[in-house]
Amino acid sequence: MPILWRHAQLATLTDDAPWGWLADGALLTIGERLVWLGRDADLPGDAEVDAEYDLEGALVTPGLVDCHTHLVYGGARADEFEARLQGVSYAEIARRGGGVLSTVRATREAADETLFAAARRRALALLAEGVTTIEIKSGYGLNFADEARCLRIIRRLGRELPLTVVATFLGAHALPPEFAGRPDDYVAEVCAWLPALAAEGLADAVDAFCETIAFSNDQARRVFDAARALGLPVKLHAEQLSDQGGAALAAGYGALSCDHLEYLNDAGARAMAAAGTIAVLLPGAFYVLRESRPPPIAALRAASVPLAVATDHNPGSSPLLSLLLAMNLACTLFRLTPEEALRGATINAARALGLADRGVLAVGKRADFVVWPLNHPRELAYWMGGCHPSRVIVGGREVCADGRVANEADLQP
């Protein structure tokens, strides 16, 4: 059924024109798609529509895309937050068996319903800020049964929530205690689980954590080989705490994205550019860990590597549940422009997930868009909290903050 949205200031993000700006624009949707978009004055006079909404000059952007999260986990790690405030480092906490492994213990102990309910609440918090597509990684199970269980919960979130959920298998996130001292044996296990996970349709992509406190370059390579054998795209937590050459390795596998990148070197940036790999910046983790070395934004720009911004929501290094705040941090801490931050949380984030059907407002794309009570899109990266959409449209349907799809009675004309 055709629905017409009139009198909007559109930040289409479609081209190099600043913001892809279209003043006094209109959008026509049929089902899940945008079928017409242009100046309100150019609306075809004969268009028959089932509903028409006057947005009265409000700002409209594409739906936001959070392309890097770890939303499914048990427990919390506020105790580690306190320890870090006392001067204990993230790496030291990990070496003492805390960090990722403490969340692994809590996740393994948690019932499915507990994990699902907590992740659902977190996803709805993102949705309430205009996020219409979320990537969620496994990586807190670290055995076959619990990794598969978390991936099934991720799939259930995608079925039951009115947003797109992309599932990424991150078995190579940390070395589980059962394999202490035997990382190569664990990596062999991770590779051996992949065919069954893929056969059940549980993974859209495969990720690994390449770092001194996690897995080596060679171990990441073995995981990527297993993914490639199954036709699954790869991505990498790369160069977060040290330069491991992980980005160049991942780019060699045509990785969708390399994420974090504080210690990325020039060769890595060039390899990413050649492979079309997206740089996913995670300023929440940078801020929480009080890192001092920002990713090499100038080198990434010079190499024309597209920049994305994500929350990296996780209970350790980034307990951040606001993509808008991640955009603000990307500007303040990494010196992105507000427009780069918005493109980073829409079109470039979609590219980091291999999704070509969203992230911009254009004919043929998904009708995922957000109406904001703001005058200009630069405000999205400017306000620190309290910036809420007036309406969120996912696949042509308006959704409420509680995750219900609005029915006709909820919609104001």
> What residues make contact with Fe ion under the rule CB under 5 A?
312
Which 52-81 residues touch ligand NIG, going by CB under 6 A?
70
Nearer to Fe ion, 291 or 312 (CB): 312
Cβ proximity to ligand NIG: between 22 and 241 the closer is 241
318 binds ligand NIG (CB under 6 A): yes
Assign 132 to helix, strand or coil: strand
What's the closest the beta carbon of residue 114 comes to ligand NIG, in angstroms?
A: 18
For ligand NIG, give the closer residue by CB, 237 or 351.
Answer: 237
Nearer to Fe ion by C-beta: 174 or 299? Answer: 174
Q: Which amino acid is at 334?
A: F
Residue 313 or 366 having the CB closest to ligand NIG = 313
Count of CB atoms situated within 10 Å of the CB of 6: 17
Nearest distance, CB of residue 100 and ligand NIG, angstroms: 4
Beta carbons within 8 Å of 326's beta carbon, 6+ residues apart: 282, 283, 284, 309, 310, 311, 320, 345
The reply on whether position 99 binds ligand NIG by CB under 6 A is yes
The pair of three-digit structure tokens given for residue 360, joined into one six-digit string: 């911009």
Give the C-alpha separation, 102 to 77, whole Å: 8
Q: Return the HEC string of 65-116.
A: EECCECCCCCCCCHHHHHHHHCCCCHHHHHHCCCCHHHHHHHHHHCCHHHHH
Q: If binding is defined by CB under 6 A, does position 103 make contact with ligand NIG?
A: yes
Say if CB 331 and CB 337 are below 8 A apart. yes
Cβ at position 70, least distance to ligand NIG in Å: 6
Per CB under 6 A, contacts with ligand NIG among 199-228 are 209
377 — phi, psi (to 5°)?
Answer: -65, -20
Task: State how far the Cα of 42 lies from the Cα of 39, in Å rounded to an integer.
Answer: 5
Residue 138 engages ligand NIG in binding (rule: CB under 6 A):
no
Footprint of ligand NIG on residues 14-53 (CB under 6 A)? none
Cβ atoms of 250 and 220 closer than 8 Å: yes
Under rule CB under 6 A, residue 288 binds ligand NIG = no
> Interface with ligand NIG includes 312 (CB under 6 A)?
yes
Give the residue among 287, 239, 229 at the shortest CA–CA distance from 259: 239
DSSP element (H, E) containing 257 = strand 257-260
Among 240, 257, 277, 348, binds ligand NIG (CB under 6 A): 240
Piece of 197-205, 315-323, 356-364, 382-390 that binds ligand NIG (CB under 6 A): 315-323
Size of interface with ligand NIG, in residues (CB under 6 A): 14
Neighbouring residues of 192: CB distance < 8 A, sequence distance ≥ 6: none
Interface with ligand NIG, residue 257, by CB under 6 A? no
8-state DSSP, 304: T
Residue 318 interacting partner from Fe ion, ligand NIG, none (CB closer than 5 to 8 Å by kind): ligand NIG
The least distance separating ligand NIG from the CB of residue 183, rounded to whole angstroms, comes to: 16
Return d(Cα 192, Cα 49) in angstroms, integer.
53
237 is an interface residue for ligand NIG by CB under 6 A: yes
> Please, which residues have CB within 8 angstroms of residue 142's CB and are 6 or more apart in sequence?
104, 171, 173, 174, 176
Region of 99-107, 227-235, 365-373, 381-389 interacting with ligand NIG (CB under 6 A): 99-107
Kindly tell me which residue out of 14, 317, 328, 346 binds ligand NIG, with binding defined by CB under 6 A. Answer: 317
User: What minimum distance in Å lies between the beta carbon of 309 and ligand NIG?
Assistant: 14
- In whole angstroms, the minimum distance from the beta carbon of 222 to Fe ion comes to 20
For binding to ligand NIG (CB under 6 A), which residues are involved? 70, 99-100, 103, 209, 237, 240, 285, 312, 314-318
